[in-house]
Chain A
């Protein structure tokens, strides 16, 4: 297997060169604001038996400078967007004249919410992502217009809710009524797409730690989303990232917010069960 060979090659290289040259996960420890300790490596859940032994946050695959930006809220450009979301949180909108704060109080009272999404919604009879739930609040309780999926307003609000859950372990439910959606997501994860015939697993399960052109492949964990990317200087949503990956396989992609991506988000989130919520994170 290619992966095995590469690992052996990397191990031999380590005899003569520092391990950092191999491109794998490093052993740094993530503490945000010298206060919030983040679990960035954890034993894989039984759902991943035979696939992964350990789940690792994408933070470990970035270089030290990028890692440092996430360790302090002042240095983390993603927090600018969190600030903007706090203003929106407190602003009344729509025909009911209500703001998020009128029902939910302070954003801090929503701590832990990000960690369990996507989640089955009994009334709607569907698995909902954070953004779908936020939009349901907006249209049903506030009488406001729904935000476009992964657009700035929506992603900023998701970042705010992630920021108050930092340090809490991801724990999405995969059983019960969500099981059907989860199975659909799992099937997508192992389906080869596009002209290059690549599945998510080909890169993020079989080759994480190896190079993809000039960059390191991570495990594709989504505990740290939304992610501020240095390449486009804004927050990026999970579905946008999925779309980018599928596009890179030279396939026609699904749309952000589509049932396919909701299922994939549930499945990929469950692969990170045990890692802490880390968003908004800083990535390449």
Chain B
């Protein structure tokens, strides 16, 4: 597992029903591309987050495939419509098989 991986998510705590809200996510991760070499000329193995998903009450909001050219600490900002109160679930998939999760509840009001 890559060191110091920590997901961070920003979701408003309240929204009006049907309102489009802005969600910001960031995960600290080195995103080693697999293209670089160390000082003795050996290739540093690829180690990136390759997929990011967001679900709301079990329904898919966004599903992203990520590639090696994405820089360190990948940041995503997107909008989602909130039809009802519930929970956003965020999942990041690491090359090494690790899965990082976070979730945020949102109320209607």
Q: Identify the A interface with B (CB < 8 A).
A: 74-75, 77, 80, 83-84, 233
Contacts and interface: CB of A to CB of B under 8 A. Distances in A.
A158 to B, nearest CB: 18
A74 B10 contact: yes
B6 A233 contact: no
Contacts of B28: 80, 83
B43 interface: no
B26 A233 contact: no
Contacts, number: 18
A160 to B, nearest CB: 15
Nearest to B25: A74
Given A74-B8, A74-B10, A83-B6, A233 B73 contact: yes
B73 A80 contact: yes
A266 B2 CA distance: 38
B4 A233 contact: no
B4 A84 contact: yes
Contacts of B71: 233
A223 to B, nearest CB: 25
Interface of B: 4, 6, 8, 10, 24, 26, 28, 71-73
A74 B26 contact: yes
What does DSSP make chain B's interface, helix, strand, loop or mixed? Answer: strand
A233 B72 contact: yes
A179 to B, nearest CB: 42
Contacts of A75: 24
Nearest to A79: B8
Contacts of A74: 8, 10, 24, 26
A77 B26 CA distance: 9
Contacts of A80: 6, 8, 26, 28, 73
User: Which secondary structure characterizes the binding site on chain A?
Assistant: loop
Contacts of A83: 6, 8, 28
Contacts of A77: 73
Nearest to A80: B28
Contacts of B10: 74
A116 B83 CA distance: 51
A80 B10 CA distance: 14
Contacts of B26: 74, 80
11 contacts: A74-B8, A74-B24, A75-B24, A77-B73, A80-B6, A80-B8, A80-B28, A83-B28, A233-B71, A233-B72, A233-B73
Nearest to B8: A74
- Going nearest first, the 9 A-B pairs with the smallest beta carbon separation are A74-B10, A80-B28, A233-B72, A74-B24, A80-B73, A77-B73, A84-B4, A83-B6, A233-B71
Contacts of B8: 74, 80, 83
Nearest to B10: A74
B54 to A, nearest CB: 16
B68 to A, nearest CB: 16
Nearest to A77: B73
A74 B75 CA distance: 10
A220 B90 CA distance: 41
B79 to A, nearest CB: 16
Nearest to B24: A74
A156 to B, nearest CB: 11
* Residue of A74, A75, A233 with most chain B CB atoms under a 10 A cut-off: A74
A84 B71 CA distance: 19
